[in-house]
Amino acid sequence: MKKLLAWASLFLFAAGVPANAELWPERDAGKVRELEARKSDWRNGAVVYQVFLDRFAPSPNKDSSVYKEPRKLRAWNETPSNGHYIENYKVWSHEVDYWGGDLTSLTGKLDYLEDLGVDVVYLNPIFESLTNHKYDASDYQKIDPVYGDRQQLKKLSDDLHSRGMRLILDGVFNHMGRRSELFQRALKNPDGPEHKMFQWKNGKAVGWADVENLPELRLENPAVREYIYAAPDSVVQSYLRQEDIDGWRLDVAFDLGFKYLEELTSTAHRVKPGSAVIGEIWNYPEDWYPAVDGVMNMHGRTLLLGLMQGSVSGPVAASMWETMIEDAGYDHILKAWIVLDNHDTPRLNHILKEAWQVRMARILQFTLPGSVNLYYGSELGMEGGDDPTNRAPMRWDLVDDSNPTLALHRKLLKLRQDYPSLRYGDFRKLHSSQLFAFLRKTVSAKDTVIVLANPGGQTVKELLQLPDSKLQDRTPLVNLLQPGKELMVQAACLEVELAPHEVLVLAPDTNPRGKGYDRYDRLP
């Protein structure tokens, strides 16, 4: 009989059910299987570190000859500033200012990213093009020489994989650059096949957002789809196969529409099962899954900024998040990127003027369901307003143990490693009349995390319900960010007092509670 039980225990463990599953209700065994499936998918709850390659790390042996006119190579300590329009090239001068970062210099900084706790490196566009932002690709199949080549990209990919990290590239497939060979042939021959690959109106190329340098592609033309994702040697497929990248972030994905997004995503999954396709979609997240695996959750960002700025109350904002999660589906939300700032927005500490606002927003970004999109230098407290100041060179001088912003981010990144619930656990909104309050949980109380945020200017005293059946009465709750303020579970409730602008991240101390937790709350 003992041998039989041992074999049964081994089978249950292999199936993702705890070895002591005989002590668990059947519904928990099923929930464990669901959680194991979420855990096995690296796209769920990942920490994604966004790198603007030219500005991340200076290359020590830079060949300045690659910066031909109208490009200019700047000193690393210079701050980007608005320039003038260069009519001959149809770009602004600050779009062709460079600081000298490349693939090799990024590869040399992987120790920093690994120590930080990053799961995924996402690169802004790196394809051949005139500008530093490279949203005007001349040739998708080539890396711009200022950044390196595809062999160096493969080395970066291999180095990341050897550290258990992933690589995502930025795919700009709604439009190209006007200097691309395809577009130049389209201009010269209105009757040629290339002309049909672009959008035209009244005999002029349609530029995305009316930008003359960004002629829009015509995805309705099968030749465009073959070029971008459908053919074996297409852009999407070739980088997944040759450089072994792990996915694509799609620029202005909402402009591509459901049909073509779903074709592109299914193609990526067929070529590399488990790869990620994340869409820059500012719309409401409902209905975009499975056309993409996840969206850049700009809707969620707007709700969080509104909460910090007082335009929406804590309870209403929490209800809005709950509604969004229900509508979009949890699998989609876990893969969606929670964005607070990036290359298209001012940095967070420029948008939010008070230190408590920035701190609370970051804590919520790291504890709400989804994947964290961390813009380079945010962990250091870098500043910057509108483009181009939000794309300033990385402040490596701020990487110091005395930097409080870095210390906070290190704590938050460690919490996501220590508590599985923050990566892929369930979300429950807590009923509150004044707070933004929620709970993340798995099937084990050891994983439960309770987040309480008071964005208001008055002290809040409340009794909160804790909908977690595994939390025992009189279990202490410890503050994970600021040790010292200990609370107590009382009959599945919690009496709290939060000062103005205070945020608590709490977890149960199950160690002193004895046999109850031992009998039903142990995971292998």
Q: Which of 458, 426, 372 is nearest to 38 (CA)?
A: 426
Q: Which two tokens stand for residue 2?
A: 């003992």
Please state whether 396 falls in left (phi above 0), alpha (psi between -120 and 50) or beta.
alpha
Burial of 200 (0-12, 13-18, 19+ CB in 10 A): middle
Distances (CA, A) of 144 to 31, 132, 180, 391, 502: 47, 10, 13, 19, 47
Q: Check 216, 280, 293, 521 and give the catalytic one.
A: 280
How does 397-420 read in b/e, with b if 16+ C-beta sit within 10 Å? eeeeeebebbebbbebbebbeebb
Who contacts 473 (Cβ-Cβ below 8 Å, separation ≥6)?
Answer: 489, 490, 491, 492
C-alpha span between 291 and 271 (Å, rounded): 16
Distances (CA, A) of 201 to 42, 71, 215, 216: 43, 31, 11, 11
Who contacts 130 (Cβ-Cβ below 8 Å, separation ≥6)?
Answer: 70, 71, 89, 91, 95, 96, 136, 138, 177, 179
Q: Check 251, 379, 426, 521 and give the catalytic one.
A: 251
Is 158 a known active-site residue? no
C-alpha span between 204 and 276 (Å, rounded): 35
Neighbours of 482 (CB within 10 A): 12
Is 181 a known active-site residue? no
Amino acid at 161: H
Q: What totals of helices (H) and strands (E) does the chain contain, helices first?
A: 18, 24
Q: Tell me if 441 sits within 8 A of 421, measured CB to CB.
A: yes
Angle ∠(10,16,19) on CA atoms, nearest 5: 45
Q: Tell me if 447 sits within 8 A of 441, measured CB to CB.
A: yes
C-alpha span between 176 and 206 (Å, rounded): 11
Amino acid at 78: E
User: Looking at the annotation, which residues are catalytic?
Assistant: 251, 280
